[in-house]
Structure 1
Amino acid sequence: MSEFVAALPMYDWPEMRSEVDARWARLRDAFRQRGIDAPETIARANGDLPPVPGGIRDGDGMVIAPDPATLPPDELDLHKLWLHPALLFGQTCWGPMELGLAEHVQVVAQPSYDAYEGGQGELYSSALVMPADGGPSVASPDDGAPLIPLDLLRGKRFTFNDTGSMSGFLGLKRDLEAMGESLDLFASRSLSGGHRSSIVAIAEGKADVAAIDCESWALAQRFEPAARHVKVVGWTGRRKGLPLITARTTPEKTVAALREAVAGLR
């Protein structure tokens, strides 16, 4: 059994499990061809993570996260996953990276978002969605510049997945600030816990607007019935998409092989 951990949690919707597993199988085989003992399957719960007696420590020996064995086994704590010393390959967001995670991991690669409206190469943007009113959705600007309809957003109820999310919170916040505005233009803010939950909240009339990253929006249009009851009214500016990472302690030679393997699959 491999001593490493791998996970691809950011777009691992229930309907996407087989596609995510197939993606990991391609990556796993490419890693193994380069001598890396990649795990057979990806981790999807805290119970899949190897124990770290005494807790997860940083380079100075300070405990920065509890032993995964002490966490609810059927849930997945993303921050503990990202900090795990056995993490060979995973996905995160530039929001957590800017908020301190970057000190504890290494970036392996940036995925391409060319397949999604609102994406271009390693850059992605978020669709601003509101209740459908029979009118058409707004197309993503070709130049990737922010398209923020202040008149539609002002006084509305904003819902978001997490305050550390670049796509769901920080990106829109920064675009508004660049326009001389702030999140205070919304009548209220509420935490949904996930992009899919934000879409459902709007469709059910519990919120009015959310920022949904372009890949999640594409998935919602495939799998989430509530997406038929919302429409795109604008877009955040393009920014770097979700980085693929490995633990800070992963040897330099292994990191180089990971990068070579990912580049070979593009």
Structure 2
Amino acid sequence: MSQWSPLYLHPQQREIIRHLSQRWLWRSEFPTWVLLIVIYGGWFATLYFWQFLGRIPATVLLIWFTAWYMSLQHELIHGHPTRVAWFNQLLGTLPLAVWYPFGLYRDSHLAHHNHDHLTVPVDDPESYYFTDESWAKFSPWQRKLIQARNTFPGRLLLAPLLDIFQTLTGAYQAFRHLQLRNMAMWLIHGALLVPLFMWMETIGFSELYFVLAVSYPALALTKVRSFLEHQAADDPLARSVINEAALVWRVLFLNLNYHSVHHDLPGVPWYGLREIYLRNKHDYQQRNQQFVVRGYGEWLRQFWAKNVDVTVHPGVKSMTKTLAFPMYAINTADNDRLWQAVRTLLLERGLRVSSWNGTDLLAHWQSPELLLSQTCGFPLVTQLTDVQTVGCFHYTAPGCEGIHYRSFLVAREADAGKTLADFRGQRAVSNSVDSQSGYNALRKMVAPLSVQGRFFSETRLSGSHRQSLVALAERSADIAAIDCVTWALLQRHEPDVLKSLSVVGETPPTPGLPLITAGDASTVELLRDALHALVSEPQYQSVCEAMLIGGFSAVSREPYSLLLAWRDEAVELGVTRL
């Protein structure tokens, strides 16, 4: 799921930020446009008039403007001053800082904003930590070099050199392994550097002097901000610092000293970060567990000779639980929007979540890390004895009423006039033997019609309702029971799948797909509160409508005992399987 999703402190903050974003200042992005003009104008003017200014004053100004430009590039990555990514890239592609292409920085930085992987080596490309394996491979002198880098002076003097070496190594690897995208970035970067250096030569400013006396110190200046900007902590919300820096640093770093606020709200423009922090100072310091510094001088004093312990990553315990809606993911974009909406509501209630991307549904539902998921009613009563039921959505699809849904009996259009009894001896297809809608419901329907426990000549398993419908269309099966919500979603998003098929009957209603958790009773109440908000708050109306969700009710396990009754009735009639 998207790493850009804002992590609000509470619902009131979301409304405050929405109100702030409607101000002319935020809507126009005027401060960022002014900043662009000042930085570009200041950089080029300083170079052009360097002889008039004098070498030393011009050098100092160029260091400032170049470091400031790198802060501006960060702002461009996060969608300011426009929401048009390619245009922002144009604004930040000119290599005023020399060392790396804008595109590489953008890709690396966006990966860094993966909330759950923050500081984790390999996963977080901006992490200063190492894995156990990497650290074990370092020689003693390499370890001493890294420890020296982890002092405050070392971060300014050594860290830029190590970063440049790593960047150039990456460039070499890109060309060696024909990584076309990265190669293109480097070629464009080089093509822009050539005329820039040629212009410097025409005005008598040494390119080598610029690289060594301007660009390198400017890169070093940015390391002031990133010194201990993140720490390894179990809670992702405690991994980013709040640095109450002086005005000059806030201006240079565009308020990124309030780094915890930035990581929680990556879409907020630089000129809004301080205001948001000051409005909620106590809450933010509580949220990041007092990872607060009173200015960069505190780091200088504390780590002048002592190195900060950023070597082997200590590992972090998961502070997040999984959230998933795997059952009706017909349209991935709509399902993701539902996930994001529920995630936001849960975060507002203090529940942090991560996505689930596995394939073993039963293991997912049985995991102690499960915060909220949707399962099928039949596994609930037969295999998921330890989970808590949270409730059930009300779906608006035909065949649904309140928390109840049903299955449609589907066959090819040529069989549209038939009844279920007419399919005796023919071939059925089901998504899974543990499916209520695709298997248990169909078994209940054919049990009274069976002879010696059999009705169909064979029953094949397809793996999903969609694949069952494909099997019908391809004539490898003759009838299937299909969840009516799935049928409605396919009608909306994949009508071609249903083109040659027809509904020939339907099952009685049963309670719909239950929402479940591995949490305790207090967690269940928080989840129910969030889901009631989902279906009642206007900002989520379009999300719910897209998924055919019309309401939510808290539901216990008891109504789902009906599914076991259906199974047992079929067994009494001699039908143990389709």
Residue 29 of structure 1 corresponds to which residue in structure 2? 344
Q: Which amino acid aligns with 1:252?
A: A
Q: Which amino acid aligns with 1:100?
A: Q
Q: Distance in 1 between matches of 2:495 and 2:379?
A: 26
**Matched position secondary structure for 2:532:** helix
Q: Which has the larger radius of gyration?
A: 2
Structure 1 position 104 matched with structure 2 position 386: yes
Query: Paired residue for 2:521, among 248, 252, 256?
Result: 252
- By how many angstroms is 1:226 displaced? 2.7
Alignment of 1:6-85 (within 5 A): 6-13=323-330, 16-39=331-354, 42-45=355-358, 76-85=359-368
Q: Distance in 2 between matches of 1:243 and 1:134?
A: 33
Q: Which amino acid aligns with 1:210?
A: A
Residue 414 of structure 2 corresponds to which residue in structure 1? 133
Q: Distance in 2 between matches of 1:211 and 1:190?
A: 12
Residue 90 of structure 1 corresponds to which residue in structure 2? 373
**Larger RCO: 1 or 2 (CA < 8 Å, sep 6+):** 1
Q: Which amino acid aligns with 2:334?
A: E
- Percent of matched pairs sharing the same residue: 37
Residue 243 of structure 1 corresponds to which residue in structure 2? 514
Residue 403 of structure 2 corresponds to which residue in structure 1? 122
CA contact (8 A) 1:157 1:209 kept: yes
Residue 234 of structure 1 corresponds to which residue in structure 2? 505
CA contact (8 A) 1:175 1:237 kept: no
**Matched position secondary structure for 1:112:** strand
Structure 1 position 216 matched with structure 2 position 497: no
Query: Unaligned regions of 5+ residues in structure 1, if any?
Result: 46-75, 137-147
CA contact (8 A) 1:92 1:245 kept: yes
Query: Unaligned regions of 5+ residues in structure 2, if any?
Result: 1-115, 117-318, 536-578
Residue 460 of structure 2 corresponds to which residue in structure 1? 190
- By how many angstroms is 1:152 displaced? 2.5
Deviation larger for 206-215 or 150-159: 150-159
Deviation larger for 180-189 or 125-134: 180-189
The TM-score normalised by the length of structure 1 is 0.76
Q: Deviations over 1:165-200 (max 9, x none)?
A: 0000001212333x3547721121111111000000
Query: Would you tell me which structure has more strand in proportion to its own residues?
Result: 1
- By how many angstroms is 1:224 displaced? 5.0
Residue 262 of structure 1 corresponds to which residue in structure 2? 531
CA contact (8 A) 2:429 2:459 kept: yes
| Distance of aligned partners of 1:94 and 1:28 in 2 relative to their CA distance in 1, 3 Å threshold | same
Residue 288 of structure 2 corresponds to which residue in structure 1? none
CA contact (8 A) 1:196 1:224 kept: no
Residue 50 of structure 1 corresponds to which residue in structure 2? none
**Matched position secondary structure for 2:454:** helix
Q: Which amino acid aligns with 1:199?
A: L
**Matched position secondary structure for 1:184:** coil
Query: Paired residue for 1:3, among 302, 320, 323?
Result: 320
CA contact (8 A) 2:405 2:510 kept: yes
**Matched position secondary structure for 2:326:** coil
Residue 142 of structure 1 corresponds to which residue in structure 2? none
- By how many angstroms is 1:44 displaced? 2.2
Q: Distance in 2 between matches of 1:224 and 1:82?
A: 31
Q: Deviations over 1:129-170 (max 9, x none)?
A: 10112958xxxxxxxxxxx92332212100001111000000
**Matched position secondary structure for 2:393:** coil
Query: Would you tell me which structure has more helix in proportion to its own residues?
Result: 2
Q: Distance in 2 between matches of 1:198 and 1:176?
A: 18
Q: Deviations over 1:52-82 (max 9, x none)?
A: xxxxxxxxxxxxxxxxxxxxxxxx1000100
Q: Distance in 1 between matches of 2:434 and 2:520?
A: 28
Q: Distance in 2 between matches of 1:184 and 1:220?
A: 31
**Matched position secondary structure for 2:372:** strand
**Matched position secondary structure for 1:110:** strand
Q: Distance in 2 between matches of 1:220 and 1:251?
A: 35
> How many pairs does the alignment contain?
216
CA contact (8 A) 1:90 1:245 kept: yes
Q: Distance in 2 between matches of 1:175 and 1:260?
A: 37
Superposed structure 1 runs of 4+ greater than 4 Å apart: none
- By how many angstroms is 1:220 displaced? 2.3
Q: Which amino acid aligns with 1:230?
A: L
**Matched position secondary structure for 1:120:** coil
CA contact (8 A) 2:373 2:515 kept: yes
Q: Distance in 1 between matches of 2:459 and 2:416?
A: 25
Q: Which amino acid aligns with 1:254?
A: T
CA contact (8 A) 2:388 2:520 kept: no
